[in-house]
Amino acid sequence: MRRLLVTSLVLTAVALAACEPATPQVPVDPSPGSGTSAPSTTVAPVTTAPPTTAKPTTTTAVPTTTTKPTTTTAAPTTTAAPTTTAAPASGTTSVGAAATTNYATPSGALVVATNGSDSNAGTQAAPLKTISAAVSKATNGQTIVVGAGTYHESVNTNSKKVIVQAAPGTRPVLDGAKTITGFAADGDKYSATYGINIAPNTETSRVSNPMASYYDQVWLDGVELTQVLTAAEVNATSFAVVNGKLYLGVNPSGRKVEASEYTYGFKTVADGTALKGITVRRYSSKNAEAAVMMFGSNGLVEHVIVEDTSYGGIKLSDDDPTIGSTGIIVRDSTLRRNGSVGMNVYKADNVLFERNLVEQNNVDGWNTGQEAGGIKVVQSRGGVYQDNLVRNNPSKGFWFDQSAINVVVARNTFINNQPDNIMIEICAHFDVYGNTIIGASRNGIRLIDSNDVDVWNNIVVDNGSDDIWIADELERNLDKLSGAYSSGDRDLRAGETWPARATRDGITWTARDVTTKNNVIGDLANGSYTGTSPTLIAWAAANDPNNTSSVVDKNIVVNNNAYWRRSSTSTTNISSWDKGTTVSYGKTFANHQSLGYDVNGQSVDGGSNPYLTGSGASLRSAGSGFVTTGGAPVPTAQAIALGVTVNTKVVGVPSSVKVLTVR
């Protein structure tokens, strides 16, 4: 493995100031059946829509696979809906894992401590030494309380449901790296027997950096080294593994050398399993795997940190992909510096992913056209992704693909993910509400061949090529029915066939029925983009020489949006509408309106941006002017997400949506 520099993805001082750590919050009692009681101290908000007005008295469950979700405040239908609570009085929502947690220890829990013994009973007085031994000893549904310290092991609960949680006031660490000793001079290098054999990935098309295919990871005094292919290339900051030997470029005498030994830290196929308050780090997870793998339904990952893996941080799936899992919750967790992807969701339905920090994933340089990035969700039916801070990932922030349907993406903040902040590809029935989306090198929101997508009340600014890009690729649309296109994209479960499944679930694999309303779109006064011809919103009908893919035919609605450009001489186009052989540009807002778009919208060139206040993650709509009067009346689902009254005419993200800060 080779770590890539990510200095180009460092936030500006303004953005960092907007994301200063807040006081850690104590987690809520776990959902599905943990058998534990809630922590005795202050409880963090369970979910979701931060109100400034009265909220609905009940929550609405996330729908089944054929109906678009109507709210962002409910858990999947297979689990109990979270209780709706008010946002913190401070006006912010804390994201990421707390430094320590305070889960109550239930009667009868097994206890693990670094000074224990696996021959002990597992009580406070006689704790076990390893989590794996506790799992073996546990009865189904039993809680395992893990004390402070580091545990070098790989835990598999198999089909046994257990609740693994940190002891009160601690943050235990599952660490996949072991100490390597026995170094001796070897020419101008130093070598030792490696004793670890993790085969490299042979699919070279999946990597941009060739060394990303090698899953080895080595640290010298806690500083990760860069992997090179041969001993001759090794220097003071790198290592090589050749013929079973580990080569270093400096004398490690008196220093600590560690290398990842295990491929995963925690794995389960049991329904209802929970992992809470634990750090999982330095595992050599392989392609399509992860350090934490939840393959059962109704699981919980809470206040977990997953970092410094060779490939994936978390994977949600099912041990039987013909069925799929459902109802997994990942909340209040941190996914950072994972080699390829922070979290991968594959055939896991009705996921609730909230209040997480997702940053600096794909540091090893996997192909951004595959699944690298913050999170990738494929072949998933139903889900809510809300109140997450997603920043500085050298690949896409959120990427939804391969017939994912019925998903809400709400109140997240995306900053500086490259090349795209959000990508939705060959999917259907998406609601994208109340997000702040800044600084991608290509697109803020990238929609490809996806239908029934509502993009309402977002702030989408300072993204390099297009703030919002909608593409319709004719060849994929035609091949959908003929069967010529990849059958692997169809998400067929047991007993399903194609195209019957597409017809039933309303999947067209075309850009159709896309509504873009009440968004603030444009430049930032001190933004990073310096290109010569960006476009704020674009339609691209690729591979359509006969001009058959029409915006009108496909019901692409663009209205009530607010646009701002740095100057009246800006080379930024308001819009472009590409039909394959002809392109119509909205070079000015008048041009844009003459094409039939934003007849109720507004645009300002030059001066200060009248639509926004704040900076970085704290950007919100201004409190007066067009943003308070010019919007389309907000429907119920959007109003719940935004915390405003139904039919409010607000443009952009109102102040009722709390600013996200890191714990």
pLDDT in tens, 382-426: 999 999 999 999 999 999 999 999 999 999 999 999 999 999 999
Q: What Cα–Cα distance (Å) separates residue 295 from each residue in 77, 97, 348, 427?
A: 18, 22, 8, 23
If you count them, how many residues does the chain have? Answer: 663
Contacts of 172 (CB under 8 A, 6+ apart): 146, 147, 148, 149, 150, 151, 166, 277, 278, 279
CB crowding 126-159: b at 16 or more within 10 Å, else e:
ebbbbbbbbbeebeeebbbbbbeeebbbbbebee
Query: Residue 62 carries which DSSP code?
Result: B
Q: What Cα–Cα distance (Å) separates residue 332 from each residue in 176, 630, 663?
A: 23, 36, 9
Q: What is the residue type of 166?
A: A
Residue 487 pLDDT: 74
Residue 305, token pair as written in the block: 């940190």
Element (DSSP H or E) covering residue 223? strand 223-224
Nearest residue to 574 (alpha-carbon basis) of 582, 566, 564: 564
Residue 570 pLDDT: 73
Residue 551 pLDDT: 66
- Cis peptide preceding 419, ω within 30 of 0: yes
Bridge partners of residue 295, in order along the sequence: none
Element (DSSP H or E) covering residue 241? strand 238-242
Bridge partners of residue 184, in order along the sequence: 191
Task: Give CA–CA dist 63/383, Å, rounded.
Answer: 9
Q: What Cα–Cα distance (Å) separates residue 647 from each residue in 600, 634, 640, 642, 644?
A: 16, 4, 11, 12, 9
Handedness of CA 475, 480, 485, 488 (dihedral sign): positive
Bridge partners of residue 469, in order along the sequence: 446, 538
Residue 580 pLDDT: 61
Give the Cβ contact number of residue 88 at 10 Å.
17
Residue 219, token pair as written in the block: 């640290």
Which residues does the chain have with pLDDT short of 70? 1-90, 474-486, 524-534, 541-553, 571, 579-581
SS3 361: coil
Which residue is associated with the tokens 């091949």?
479
Element (DSSP H or E) covering residue 292? strand 292-294
Bridge partners of residue 31, in order along the sequence: none
Contact at 8 Å (CB) between 3 and 363? yes
Query: Could you tell me where the beta strands, DSSP code E, fall in 109-160?
Result: 110-112, 143-146, 150-151, 155-156
Residue 266, token pair as written in the block: 């925690």
Burial class (CB in 10 A: 0-12, 13-18, 19+), 315: buried
Residue 24, token pair as written in the block: 């850690």
The CA-CA-CA angle for residues 181, 182, 184, to 5°, reads 130
Reported as a single tens digit per residue, the pLDDT across 512-531 is: 999 999 999 988 665 554 44
Task: Give CA–CA dist 72/61, Å, rounded.
Answer: 9
